[in-house]
Amino acid sequence: MTVSTVAVVVAGVCVAGMVLWRLWSPQTFERWILWAPRAWFLGWWRYRRVWTKRMSACGLSVTYGDSVLIPRLRSVRVGRTTDRLLVRMCAGQSPWDYEGRAWRIADTFGVHECRAQIVGPSTVGIVLRQSDSGEESMALPRLGARGKDAA
């Protein structure tokens, strides 16, 4: 067998294994395979690609002469219902600047709620609640006819 044949066989076995895993246990496949790339993409889409404009819109940019400083987004952790951001404050800012503008940050990013608190030297932790954990609808059991349930 040639190297290319072996490579095709190995790739086929891997793909078949992934398909079987997805069919056998969709929850674990989602958690172990799909969640990390999805979380990275959502972090980029929701925050990193629009960070500069949104911080300016919230009034969190700082102007020194001709230059404009934007708080630096250090990390993004996307969760199922909440996202956590670590932000390096600009010189001259305080945690209260972020706490006082939490409603603006929430509105700018289109989330239900925002909380900000100091987590380290010149570092603010921002928690953004995307949705309620109970927001998804669930099927309730259907009660019998009225006449049967009435006491």
149 belongs to a structural domain: no
CA 66 to CA 148: how far, in whole Å?
Answer: 77
pLDDT at 37: 86
Which pLDDT score is estimated for 137? 57
Q: Which residues of the chain have pLDDT under 70?
A: 132-151
pLDDT at 51: 95
Total domains in the chain come to 1
* DSSP string for 89-130: PPTT--HHHHHHTHHHHHHHHT-SEEEEEEEETTEEEEEEE-
pLDDT value, residue 49: 95
Amino acid 64: pLDDT: 85
pLDDT (tens digit per residue) in 95-139? 899 999 999 999 999 999 999 999 989 999 999 998 765 555 556
Residue 81 lies in a domain: yes
Residue 70 in any domain: the answer is yes
**Sequence-ordered list of residues with C-beta below 8 angstroms from that of 61, at least 6 positions apart, any chain:** 55, 68, 69, 70, 71, 90
Domain contains 108: yes
User: Within a domain: residue 140?
Assistant: no
- The parent domain of residue 40 ranges over 34-129
Q: How many angstroms separate the Cα of 56 from the Cα of each of 50, 68, 78? A: 10, 9, 22
Q: What is the DSSP letter of 85?
A: E
CA 118 to chain centre: 20
Domain CATH number, residue 91: 3.30.980.40
Q: Is residue 19 part of a domain?
A: no
Query: Sign of dihedral through CA atoms 15, 16, 19, 24?
Result: negative
